[in-house]
Chain A
């Protein structure tokens, strides 16, 4: 048996083929990125355990992830917030977890994306189940899983082909095979979806430049919002408000502060939101009942004309501007404290 020869051949071919695979995807425009997975979320959730009354936790959906830039926030306040927002999610499960399982008494900024905030409290509904699964993972993760994630980060930062992206941008074997179609036995109404953000280790997310410069790319994302908009069940304002206000009272009672923020949206999505979840009936009612500081982008001249390239999130540059200006407003308003030392 000439196993040594086989091993040498296998090793050489593996290195060459893996190198070629990496090069190929780089020539296709892919580059190394970190995955916004449950492990990454859990590392930030763990930071919240040690957060003090000076800290700020960010919660909400993808709009908080894209629109609130941690560098700008830190520049303005001297403190880097902890990013706990999750894409396509209601903020309520994460807020509930912080209220029930920690003694945090600092500030929580909650992004109010009407279609998600007022969506549901049903545990099996996607806007609830997604963030709840991350919360559950945080408590159940093993030491081995933590170690695996720590070891995977340097690899994710250096290899483009290592990516957990799904759909048309997916590079995993499962995703590549999933793209092969032979006829259409079962109709798949979901339009193809691009991953249009790049996340850092501290979960600071920025929109990819291609979503700003390539209209076709941006339009493909708009189609996805339209798809979700058409299929969305009616909001459950009563249950969501009751659930949130109960947690809010508990948080206020122990000295915590909440800030509600309505991030910009534009185009057809904003029209849909205004029709389905009118501001006066949903957002304003929430603010009135919550009795906390609140900021709606429509109320500020500098935000009124911000355009979201794909209707729902700000470009990286606009997000920096939005964060910087929003923080200045909040500082002036006394909603936030400036910890900068000159």
Chain B
């Protein structure tokens, strides 16, 4: 094992035996033994996972609910034992699978800090040296001699979180614990995590927040169905993660379109096709006149929404061309847009609309009609990048 590794995971497998029925009884165990059936079902949670966390890394683990990421964290924290494969940990590891584990409401804040420290394997002296820092960070100096049951829930969480991040371990393992406390405390935590990026402390973070992954982590993995789906730079990983949802949503969309769609349906979108290229984004919309009358004043427009659901740009046939589209009864037409690819890196959603009668009557408004991703830009900061020139004089 290289000295630079904080955690080395190699060919890790983990299965769980899920009891088919309530078999935590002797009767059931005997019945199962007599019938020769296994009282459980085997579920493979992790299949052949390998990765390395280097010293000083801020390492993100992302994945959907039930993907196995928490199990992986528990394996790293040595709460579970692997079925196959190895996990090597280099240095002292402090796990926070949940905040405030072992907190006792009947003990004072001070007693709880020392109890919690003992559970994490710290000696009395070590805890005493950390104590002031923990209390300061939590901003709870005045409350340390009060029983924990008299704390507000926010105060309890703050105390727990402060123990977690001020604990003097080499490797910190955090599971979904970033969003705690009020805004001021949040800010403080963010600053603290940012400062950790450049320290030699190793942090392993499981989270659903892609913003956190992009902001803090320098490496990340995406786990899906117990396998590593993507590994490497946090921007790519979070992109891949978001894409998983698009894929799933677009599958869902086929079943249930009407929820996001309203209008008179005199004219409708038959399909919208988006092709993203390096320099160009092409959109082919097929529209159809649903009536037996001709339509002479159709406008096709689309809004582009970035990942924050903010409209960042759009296209509008009438504004561009200065005229309406004509459709004969029952006629179908393809409208082709070619847009310069000035989009930033990320995922965009299209809200498409068909309007008639001088843009007054909505014929077909289709929210979240299509999603597309742009990977050709390096700019994650802006949704749309205006072309510009700059001169230094």
User: Are these two chains actual partners, yes or no?
Assistant: no
Q: Which residues of B contact A (CB under 8 A)?
A: none
Q: Which residues of A contact B (CB under 8 A)?
A: none
